[in-house]
Structure 1
Amino acid sequence: MSDSGDSDIAWTLYKDRPEWKDITPVSEDDGPNPVVVIAHSEKFEDVYDYFRAVLKKNEKSERVLQLTKDAVELNPANYTVWQYRRDLLKALGTDLRSELDYVESVIKQSPKNYQVWHHRRVLVEWLQDPTLELELTGDALLQDPKNYHAWQHRQWAIKTFGLFSKEMAFVDNLITEDVRNNSAWNQRYFVVNNHLGWSDLNVQREICYAMEKIKFVKNNESAWNYLRGVLLHDKRGLSGNAVVTSFCEDLYKNKCRSPYLLAFIIDICDEAIKKGELSCFHNPDRAIELCTALATKYDKIRSKYWNYISEKFKIAKNEQEEKEKQQENGDKMDD
Structure 2
Amino acid sequence: MSDCSDHDPNWVPYKERPEWNDVTPIPENDGPNPVVVIAHSEKFEDVYGYFRSVLQRNEKSKRALHLTKDAVELNPANYTVWQYRRDILKTLNTNLQSEFAYVESVIKQSPKNYQVWHHRRVLVEWLQDASLELELTKDALEQDPKNYHAWQHRQWVIKTFGLYSQEMEFVDILITEDVRNNSAWNQRYFVLNNHLGWSDLNVQKEICYTLEKIKFVKNNESAWNYLRGILLHDKRGLCGNAVVSSFCEDLYKNKCRSPYLLAFIIDMCDEAIKKDETNCLYNPERAIELCEALASKYDKIRTKYWNYLLERFRKCRGEQIINSNGLMDEIE
Do the two structures share a fold, i.e. TM-score over 0.5?
Answer: yes
Q: In the alignment, what sits opposite 1:63?
A: 63
Contact 2:112–2:149 under 8 Å retained in 1? yes
Contact 2:322–2:328 under 8 Å retained in 1? no
Q: Secondary structure at the match of 1:326?
A: coil
Q: Secondary structure at the match of 1:94?
A: coil
- Could you tell me which amino acid in structure 2 is paired with residue 22 of structure 1? D
- Could you tell me which amino acid in structure 2 is paired with residue 162 of structure 1? G
Contact 1:214–1:224 under 8 Å retained in 2? yes
Give CA-to-partner distance per residue, 1:79-106, whole Å, 9 cap, x none: 0000000000000010001100000000
- Could you tell me which amino acid in structure 2 is paired with residue 249 of structure 1? E
Contact 2:76–2:110 under 8 Å retained in 1? yes
Q: In the alignment, what sits opposite 1:190?
A: 190
Equivalent-residue separation in structure 1 for 2:200 and 2:328 (angstroms) = 41
Equivalent-residue separation in structure 2 for 1:174 and 1:31 (angstroms) = 51
CA displacement at 1:280 relative to structure 2: 1.4
- Could you tell me which amino acid in structure 2 is paired with residue 266 of structure 1? I
Give CA-to-partner distance per residue, 1:186-220, whole Å, 9 cap, x none: 00000000000000000000011110000000000
Q: In the alignment, what sits opposite 1:265?
A: 265
Give the alignment of 1:296-311 within 5 angstroms. 296-311=296-311
Q: Which runs of 5+ in 2 are unaligned?
A: none
Percent identity between the aligned chains?
79
Give the alignment of 1:216-231 within 5 angstroms. 216-231=216-231
Give CA-to-partner distance per residue, 1:225-283, whole Å, 9 cap, x none: 00000000001111111111111000000000000000000000011111121121111
Equivalent-residue separation in structure 1 for 2:54 and 2:7 (angstroms) = 26
Give CA-to-partner distance per residue, 1:7-50, whole Å, 9 cap, x none: 21111100010000000100000000111111011000000000
Contact 1:4–1:43 under 8 Å retained in 2? no
Equivalent-residue separation in structure 1 for 2:21 and 2:87 (angstroms) = 24
Give yes or no for the alignment of 1:91 onto 2:91. yes
Equivalent-residue separation in structure 2 for 1:274 and 1:46 (angstroms) = 67
Q: In the alignment, what sits opposite 2:176?
A: 176
Equivalent-residue separation in structure 1 for 2:237 and 2:283 (angstroms) = 16
Equivalent-residue separation in structure 1 for 2:301 and 2:313 (angstroms) = 20
Q: In the alignment, what sits opposite 1:325?
A: 325
Equivalent-residue separation in structure 2 for 1:328 and 1:42 (angstroms) = 79
- Could you tell me which amino acid in structure 2 is paired with residue 132 of structure 1? L
Contact 1:239–1:245 under 8 Å retained in 2? yes
Give the alignment of 1:256-295 within 5 angstroms. 256-295=256-295
Contact 1:3–1:41 under 8 Å retained in 2? no
- Could you tell me which amino acid in structure 1 is paired with residue 180 of structure 2? R
Give yes or no for the alignment of 1:30 onto 2:35. no
Equivalent-residue separation in structure 2 for 1:251 and 1:5 (angstroms) = 57
CA displacement at 1:327 relative to structure 2: 7.1
- Could you tell me which amino acid in structure 2 is paired with residue 207 of structure 1? I
Equivalent-residue separation in structure 1 for 2:3 and 2:64 (angstroms) = 20
Q: Secondary structure at the match of 2:325?
A: helix
In the comparison of the two structures, how many residue pairs are matched? 329
Equivalent-residue separation in structure 2 for 1:279 and 1:5 (angstroms) = 69
Contact 1:213–1:223 under 8 Å retained in 2? yes
Q: Which runs of 5+ in 1 are unaligned?
A: 330-335
Say if 1:328 and 1:22 are closer, same or farther in 2 by CA, change over 3 A: closer
Give CA-to-partner distance per residue, 1:145-164, whole Å, 9 cap, x none: 00000000000000000000
Equivalent-residue separation in structure 2 for 1:277 and 1:327 (angstroms) = 20
CA displacement at 1:182 relative to structure 2: 0.2
Equivalent-residue separation in structure 1 for 2:310 and 2:24 (angstroms) = 71
Contact 2:5–2:74 under 8 Å retained in 1? no
Contact 2:292–2:306 under 8 Å retained in 1? yes
Equivalent-residue separation in structure 1 for 2:109 and 2:156 (angstroms) = 22
Equivalent-residue separation in structure 2 for 1:90 and 1:218 (angstroms) = 53
Q: In the alignment, what sits opposite 1:333?
A: none
Q: In the alignment, what sits opposite 1:74?
A: 74
Q: Secondary structure at the match of 2:256?
A: coil
Q: In the alignment, what sits opposite 2:163?
A: 163
- Could you tell me which amino acid in structure 1 is paired with residue 256 of structure 2? C
Equivalent-residue separation in structure 1 for 2:223 and 2:270 (angstroms) = 21
CA displacement at 1:3 relative to structure 2: 4.7
Equivalent-residue separation in structure 1 for 2:271 and 2:168 (angstroms) = 31
Say if 1:301 and 1:328 are closer, same or farther in 2 by CA, change over 3 A: closer
Contact 2:185–2:223 under 8 Å retained in 1? yes
Q: Secondary structure at the match of 1:39?
A: coil
Q: In the alignment, what sits opposite 1:104?
A: 104
Equivalent-residue separation in structure 1 for 2:255 and 2:3 (angstroms) = 57
Say if 1:295 and 1:328 are closer, same or farther in 2 by CA, change over 3 A: closer
Equivalent-residue separation in structure 1 for 2:276 and 2:238 (angstroms) = 14
- Could you tell me which amino acid in structure 1 is paired with residue 301 of structure 2? I
Q: Secondary structure at the match of 1:106?
A: helix
Alpha-carbon RMSD: 1.2
